[in-house]
Amino acid sequence: MKGHNVYLAISLIFIAVLSRLIPHYPNFTALGAAALFSGALLRSNPLLAFGVPIASYWLSDLILNNLIYSAYYDGFVLFSPSAVYQYLAIAAMVALGRGLGQPKSTRLLGASIAAATVFYLISNFGVWLSSGMYPHTLSGLLLCYEAGLPFFLKGTLPSTILYSYVLFTVYAYLRRRVFAHSG
């Protein structure tokens, strides 16, 4: 991948993750799409492929946790209690993107559904394990998944599908139109 294409991909990933900072329906952000996109476009450089979306997510977390949700914490927060599970979920979505290859429409749809599902399963497991909101039993875990299901169905799943198509389309357009004649 040429240098300007890498910078374009990284810029789009960063912008997509920052969608968490603008008002939105719960979980309706471009996070999953950014992770898939990063895995697919930056797959030749695993450090960038995994690092860019995770670092972008962490930076947006710093802003959210210390400005928007600061009333829920005692002092400055570097990492939320379930952050490790969210980062694991992002890494899993990047791994799915690395296996995506050239995203054809149906392949991208399947990867988007898989990515959203993986994030839902891992992040809700983290909430169950680290929050104390649910008993640490099988029924408590199932209750946690049930409570998260509306956010998954109305937020994470449709946003991952929509933004995946948007990211790949915008990237292809910009690469073809804007960067076609450079280097």
Q: Which pLDDT score, from 0 to 100, does residue 124 have?
A: 95
Question: Is the entire prediction scored with pTM above 0.85?
Answer: yes
**Among residues of the chain, what percentage have pLDDT more than 90?**
74
The pLDDT of 87-116, averaged and rounded, is 92
> Whole-angstrom Cα distance, residue 142 to residue 32?
23
The pLDDT of 46-64, averaged and rounded, is 94
> Whole-angstrom Cα distance, residue 10 to residue 3?
11
3-state helix, strand, coil in the chain (%, to 5): 75, 0, 25
Q: Which pLDDT score, from 0 to 100, does residue 175 have?
A: 87
Non-local (6+) Cβ contacts of 61 within 8 A are 79, 80, 83
- Say if residue 183's pLDDT is above 60: no
Q: What is the pLDDT of residues 109-155, one digit of tens each?
A: 999 999 999 999 999 999 999 888 999 999 999 999 999 999 999 99
The pLDDT of 84-90, averaged and rounded, is 96
**Main-chain dihedrals φ then ψ at residue 8, nearest 5 degrees:** -65, -45
**Which residue, among 89, 82, 79, 100, has the nearest Cα to 32 in the 3D structure?**
89
- Say if residue 81's pLDDT is above 90: no
> Whole-angstrom Cα distance, residue 174 to residue 15?
15
**Among residues of the chain, what percentage have pLDDT more than 70?**
96
**Main-chain dihedrals φ then ψ at residue 3, nearest 5 degrees:** -55, -45
